[in-house]
Amino acid sequence: MQNKGLSQNLVLKELESRLRNDFAYDSGKIIGSMCTCPHPLARKVYNRFLDINLGDSGLFPAVVKLEKETIHMLGTLLSNLEASGHIVTGGTEANTLALWAAKKLSKKKQCEVIMPASAHYSFDKAADLLGLRIVRVGLNDGFQVDVEAVKKAVNLNTIAIVGIAGTTGLGVVDPISELSKIAVENDLYLHVDAAFGGFVLSFLKELGFNVSDFDFALPGVCSITIDPHKMGLAPIPAGGILFRNERLRKAVAWNVSYLAGGETEQATFVGTRSGTSVIAVWALLKHLGREGYKRIVRRCMRLTEKLAEEIPKIKGLDIVTEPTMNIVGLKSEVFDIRQIAKELRFRKWAVSLFPNYIRIVVMPHVRKHHIERFIEDLKDIIDKLGG
């Protein structure tokens, strides 16, 4: 750090120039990410309440109430008026809290958690931290978890099952109702990772899409991750963890007795945490409502359908599976997918590369002309590669 500080203007100028060449959502080039431009109202609200720390919740009882209302609104979306939980730093913290609760609620010594091969790596981090053994099971032809394999994997050490409602790679929804049955029959904790899908699936259902059950309507579901900073249009950081009821949430709650705000309780992984993130999510849910989110999801799905229609028209390219939500997997039997990704990145398309396919996420910042340009560039690349 230098001795004498720079003027605010100089600092801002330097930042503008240093960050200018990073990717920006509104360029439309970020086409493989699960984040998007925050809604303008969320930006406004976020800036306004930056100083609120929900780690000392006794100081901010009104914000505690806003968080409860936020969780209640999300709970209603996920078929549970009794849901209890928190707005956290993201899906990683939410998934970690879920496994932590499962571990604390179990009396077992060697704890195993069964999850699909498609589960996000945040579960590996959580398991490492919590001393859990992950048992990964294979997928069926539709890239959903193989239910029979889950049944076979259950043993005396099993404490929990994880199902995914919107996989990271392809947006596939596991047969959560089947997992729920297994969980109920074996008295196991079932966590559903709807970090991405939570803000999509309920709206798709209302829009008439064929969406299988994935939420608290299923009796075995104990907790759900639903991230506002993905399809919820909230500023980062805003993840969501919802437990079926207060008893489950209490499993990860700690009492803090000495704070100026009075005796308090923390049931999040972090201590000091952003109150303004919570307020921004509350504001968005109030402002957009179901209708607003439905409109956004409908637009994303229309573009996704267009993309999924155009890709197979290009010789040598195909989609991995029909999209369930606004995620498309692009594959090729003819060309090296890494080569295609390299060419796309060379043309400044920010796509995600999985082992056998390229992931495209049609987030709200992606517009029709971006998709059209992307398709043109893909055609060009395939021509160049000798298609």
Count of positions (residues) in the chain: 387
* Number of neighbours of residue 354 by Cβ within 10 angstroms: 17
d(CA 323, CA 143): 11
Phi, psi of 346 (to 5 degrees): -60, -35
d(CA 336, CA 348): 19
Three-class DSSP category at 231: coil
Q: Helices marked H in 207-329 — which ranges?
A: 246-250, 275-310
Question: Counting contacts by CB under 6 A, is residue 220 touching ligand 0PR?
Answer: no
For ligand 0PR, the closer CB: 96 or 264: 96
Question: Counting contacts by CB under 6 A, is residue 196 touching ligand 0PR?
Answer: yes
Question: Counting contacts by CB under 6 A, is residue 215 touching ligand 0PR?
Answer: no
For ligand 0PR, the closer CB: 232 or 275: 232
Three-class DSSP category at 113: strand
DSSP conformational letter for 245:
S
For ligand 0PR, the closer CB: 168 or 264: 168
Contact assessment for residue 225 and residue 231, using Cβ atoms and an 8 Å cutoff? no
d(CA 274, CA 292): 25
* Number of neighbours of residue 105 by Cβ within 10 angstroms: 16
Stretch that binds ligand 0PR, among 32-40, 98-106, 280-288, 313-321 (CB under 6 A): 32-40
For ligand 0PR, the closer CB: 36 or 276: 36
DSSP conformational letter for 59:
G
Range 118-137, binding ligand 0PR (CB under 6 A):
120, 122
Q: Dihedral of CA 38/44/46/50: which sign?
A: positive
To ligand 0PR, the closest distance from the beta carbon of 86 in angstroms equals: 14
* Number of neighbours of residue 177 by Cβ within 10 angstroms: 17
For ligand 0PR, the closer CB: 35 or 320: 35
To ligand 0PR, the closest distance from the beta carbon of 227 in angstroms equals: 5
Stretch that binds ligand 0PR, among 192-200, 288-296, 312-320, 370-378 (CB under 6 A): 192-200
To ligand 0PR, the closest distance from the beta carbon of 339 in angstroms equals: 22
Q: Which of 67, 178, 193, 310 binds ligand 0PR (CB under 6 A)?
A: 193
* Helix, strand, coil content of the chain in percent (nearest 5): 45, 15, 40
For ligand 0PR, the closer CB: 86 or 120: 120
Size of the site for ligand 0PR (CB under 6 A): 16
Question: Counting contacts by CB under 6 A, is residue 264 touching ligand 0PR?
Answer: no
Range 39-98, binding ligand 0PR (CB under 6 A):
90-92, 95
Question: Counting contacts by CB under 6 A, is residue 171 touching ligand 0PR?
Answer: no
The tokens describing 384, both together, are: 């160049």
> Residue 219's closest CA among 183, 272, 259?
183
Stretch that binds ligand 0PR, among 33-41, 150-158, 262-270, 368-376 (CB under 6 A): 33-41
To ligand 0PR, the closest distance from the beta carbon of 236 in angstroms equals: 8
Binding site for ligand 0PR (CB under 6 A): 33-35, 90-92, 95, 120, 122, 164, 168, 193, 195-196, 227, 239
